[in-house]
Structure 1
Amino acid sequence: MSNVLSAMKERRSIRKYKQDKIPQEILDQIIEAGLYAANGMGYQNTIIIQVTNKKVRDEIAALNAEIGGWKKGFDPFYGAPAMLIVLAKKDWPNRVYDGSLVMGNLMLAAHALGIGSCWIHRAKEEFETEWGKNFLRSLGIEGAYEGIGHCAIGYIEGNYPKAAPRKGNRVFYVKED
């Protein structure tokens, strides 16, 4: 089986991370994989924001937890020291699909490089707030963007999760006679 197919079968969401920093060279490889995700009409209407600054990361985690309705102090990023936030142009009809493909590539690339990952939701709600809009402006990002997801990434703390058995009756065939 190819390395890509193996990575697809083996990758799992990680919910406990070491605090070790990921080298920028590895982050760059993961980001590059995201930039090569399939996208509608080749328009490349998604962007990725790398956050490794602990203060900003913790601020985003607090906002995400507030939106999610969790108690103060809960970390919805499970201690991951880095996150890659995927956004797409708000007026692009394929924004959620294109952004989801970017997220998938990020998680597969992270796994292939020995890095754990987990898709964390509520990016849409975060970037609808004034905080989110101001954050984008502070980075020089112009225009309206919709948050698609956060890819929490870091070195795995503990054992790697096992895949659950695949459920049956999920594939149907329409074949030539």
Structure 2
Amino acid sequence: MEERRSIRRFKPEMPVRKDLEQIIEAGLYAANGMGKQAVITVAVTDKEVRDRLSAVNCRIGGWKEGFDPFYGAPAVLIVLADKNWANHVYDGSLVMGNMMLAAHSLGLGSIWIHRAKEEFETGEWQQFLSDIGVEGEWEGIGHCAVGYIDGEIPKAAERKDGRVFWVE
């Protein structure tokens, strides 16, 4: 866990499906409030859909057209949580954490990319969910962009002091 880093340069080759399935499974086993399991993952490996998602994320983020907020990662695992569940943001965040750690354990890079909430509030992406068979009201928690690392794993920043308080 101390070695996992956010990766911002990926090779274009798609990770093998078995590895992506293992990453997703790690997310399915994340802790969740009252055992509700009110989080889903949409695995995007279709380049056309991935690129459309990148373009809308770029627009929401305010970058110039053509910037890829997924940094070239070929696979994007979108985490969505049931809007009607009080712990949806927390539960979805735990799924994201598990998936990023699983990716690292398999020698893959990952990064949490935000703006999924804004994307899945739009009619276009709500329709996308409906088209793939997802029913209900879902809030986008994040995108786990995954792929083979292009370059070296970044070094960790120094950990700040004064972040732990003991009550004994």
TM, length-normalised to structure 2? 0.99
2: CA distance between counterparts of 1:37 and 1:164?
Answer: 26
2: CA distance between counterparts of 1:162 and 1:105?
Answer: 21
Larger Rg: 1
2: CA distance between counterparts of 1:131 and 1:12?
Answer: 32
Q: Which residue of 1 aligns with 2:122?
A: 129
Q: Which residue of 2 aligns with 1:87?
A: 80
2:46 paired with 1:53: yes
Q: Which residue of 2 aligns with 1:18?
A: 11
Q: Which residue of 2 aligns with 1:35?
A: 28
2:112 paired with 1:119: yes
The residue type paired with residue 165 of structure 1 is E
Q: Which residue of 1 aligns with 2:59?
A: 66
Q: Which residue of 2 aligns with 1:169?
A: 162
> What is the SS of the residue equivalent to 2:130?
helix
Per the TM alignment, residue 132 of structure 1 is displaced from its structure 2 partner at its CA by: 1.2
2: CA distance between counterparts of 1:159 and 1:136?
Answer: 36
Q: Which residue of 1 aligns with 2:68?
A: 75
Matched length: 168
RMSD (CA atoms): 0.4
2: CA distance between counterparts of 1:123 and 1:101?
Answer: 16
What 5-or-longer segments of structure 1 have no aligned partner? 1-7
What 5-or-longer segments of structure 2 have no aligned partner? none
Identity %: 67
1: CA distance between counterparts of 2:144 and 2:92?
Answer: 11
